[in-house]
C-alpha cells in the first residue's frame, strides 16, 4: 500500500512538473499584455554579494515592453516593437539598438516575444518555494544567458530567474500582476530627453 501511495505521489509530482511548461505556453498564448511591480535581487556566482532593485514593468505582444527601475537608481528600458531604448538617468545616457539585436533569447523575448519555441528549449522543474517552475534554455548557446526559470503560482506569473554565463543569478519577483490590461500605445514610445548622450548600436 505504501508503495502504491509513493508511486501515486511520484506520478502526481511528475504531472505537476510537466504542467509548468503547459502553464508557460498558456501564459504566452492567453496573456497579450500585463503590468506588475517587481523586486529584483542579483546574486554573485559565489552566492554572497547581493544587489536589490525595484520598479514596474509592462508589456504588450508582440515585442513591446517597458521596465522602469525606481530604486536604488532610476533606469528605463523601453521596446517599441522596432527598437530597444535604455535610459540611464544617473549617466544622462540613452543607448538604442534594433530590437532584433537586443532581444534574442532574453527574458523580455520570453515574456513579450512571439517565437518562444524557436528561441528556447522548454522543460519542467520541480516545485520550489511554493511555485511551479519551468525552464527555458536558449537555443543559441553563444549568448550571455545560460538559463531562464519561470515560476507560476497557479496560472499567475510570480517570478523569473535569469542565470548568466558567469553564474550570476537575477531573481525578479512580481506582485500585483494584471493580465490583459488596456495599455496605451504611447507607453511603449520613448523620446530621448534633451541634452542626453545618445548612443546608437
pLDDT tens for 94-108 read 999 998 777 665 777
143 pLDDT higher than 90: no
Domains of the chain: 2-200 (2.50.20.10)
Please say whether the beta carbons of 99 and 84 come within 8 A.
yes
Instruction: Please choose, from the candidates 95, 63, 99, 60, the residue with its C-alpha nearest in 3D space to the C-alpha of residue 76.
Output: 95
Lowest mean pLDDT among 8-12, 38-42, 74-78, 122-126: 8-12
Does residue 169 sit in helix, strand or coil?
strand
Burial code of 53-82, b = ≥16 C-beta within 10 A, e = fewer? bbbebbbbbebbbbbbbeeeeebbbbbbbe
Secondary structure of 81-104 in HEC code, one letter for each residue: CCEEEEEECCCCEEEEEEHHHHCC
pLDDT tens for 40-95 read 999 998 888 889 999 999 999 988 999 999 988 899 999 999 999 999 999 999 99
Global pTM reads 0.83
CA–CA dist 125, 132 (Å, integer)? 7
pLDDT at 6: 38
Lowest mean pLDDT among 22-36, 92-106, 153-167, 179-193: 92-106
Amino acid at each position: 500500500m505504501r508503495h502504491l501511495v509513493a508511486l501515486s505521489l511520484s506520478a502526481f509530482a511528475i504531472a505537476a512538473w510537466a504542467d509548468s511548461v503547459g502553464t508557460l505556453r498558456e501564459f504566452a498564448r492567453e496573456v497579450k499584455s500585463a503590468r506588475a511591480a517587481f523586486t529584483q535581487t542579483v546574486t554573485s556566482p559565489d552566492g554572497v554579494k547581493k544587489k536589490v532593485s525595484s520598479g514596474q514593468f509592462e508589456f504588450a505582444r508582440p515585442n513591446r515592453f517597458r521596465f522602469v527601475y525606481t530604486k536604488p537608481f532610476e533606469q528605463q528600458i523601453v521596446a517599441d516593437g522596432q527598437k530597444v531604448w535604455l535610459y540611464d538617468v544617473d549617466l544622462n545616457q540613452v543607448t538604442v539598438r534594433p530590437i532584433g539585436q537586443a532581444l534574442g533569447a532574453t527574458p523580455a523575448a520570453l515574456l513579450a516575444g512571439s517565437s518562444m519555441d524557436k528561441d528556447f528549449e522548454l522543460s519542467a522543474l520541480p516545485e520550489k518555494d511554493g511555485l511551479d517552475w519551468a525552464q527555458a534554455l536558449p537555443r543559441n548557446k553563444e549568448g550571455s544567458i545560460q538559463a531562464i526559470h519561470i515560476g507560476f503560482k497557479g496560472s499567475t506569473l510570480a517570478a523569473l530567474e535569469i542565470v548568466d554565463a558567469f553564474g550570476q543569478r537575477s531573481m525578479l519577483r512580481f506582485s500585483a500582476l494584471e493580465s490583459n490590461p488596456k495599455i496605451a500605445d504611447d507607453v511603449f514610445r520613448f523620446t530621448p530627453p534633451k541634452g542626453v548622450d545618445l548612443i546608437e548600436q
